[in-house]
Amino acid sequence: MPTPVVESVFRKLGGLPVLGQEVTSDADLARLVNHRIPVRALTLVKRIGFSDQEIGQFIIPARTQRHRKANRERLSVEESDRLVRLTRIQALAEDVFGDAEKGNRWLRQALGILDGKTPLEVARTDSGARVVEQLLAKIDWGAAA
């Protein structure tokens, strides 16, 4: 049985029709990244709250995205990894705050505990994403954050 976050990431990326395989675990997400995610998953990510500018800044530059679409290429492993990372952080924030709008607002709010950066900015790297995940866990458990 998939965890709520893995299930949410799977759904946000387009599910079986876009990804072409079931995703029920973190291991499946890792496999998905290694097989490279189809570019059309980015269209769905826009629908769940990421702007073109954020996609360009955090996942794949606009020019590279246009090239991949024109040539019907998949995202690279690195781009796929960034896409899954940010979608996972968004799913966690929505889960913790119990509301997509509140979670998305929090992700874009500069926080003193993150040196004035937004959780999205910090989550650009794997180690930064872990910091954001830990912060969300503290909020979930009721600790001041």
100 part of a folded domain = yes
CB 60 within 8 Å of CB 46: no
Integer Cα distance of 99 and 49 in angstroms: 13
25 part of a folded domain = yes
Q: Total domain count for the chain?
A: 1
Integer Cα distance of 131 and 123 in angstroms: 8
Tell whether pTM > 0.75: yes
Q: What is the pLDDT of residues 76-125, one digit of tens each?
A: 999 999 999 999 999 999 999 999 999 999 999 999 999 999 999 999 99
Residue 26 confidence (pLDDT): 93
145 part of a folded domain = no
Q: Is the pLDDT of residue 9 over 90?
A: yes
Residue 32 confidence (pLDDT): 95
Residue 143 confidence (pLDDT): 59
Question: The domain containing residue 127 runs over which residues?
Answer: 4-140
CB 13 within 8 Å of CB 44: yes
Integer Cα distance of 130 and 26 in angstroms: 15
Neighbour-count burial for 81-119, b at 16+ CB within 10 Å, e otherwise: bbbbbbbbbbbbbbbbbeebeebbebbeeebeebeeeeb
89 phi/psi in degrees, rounded to 5:
-60, -40
Integer Cα distance of 44 and 98 in angstroms: 21
134 part of a folded domain = yes
Residue 4 confidence (pLDDT): 87
18 part of a folded domain = yes
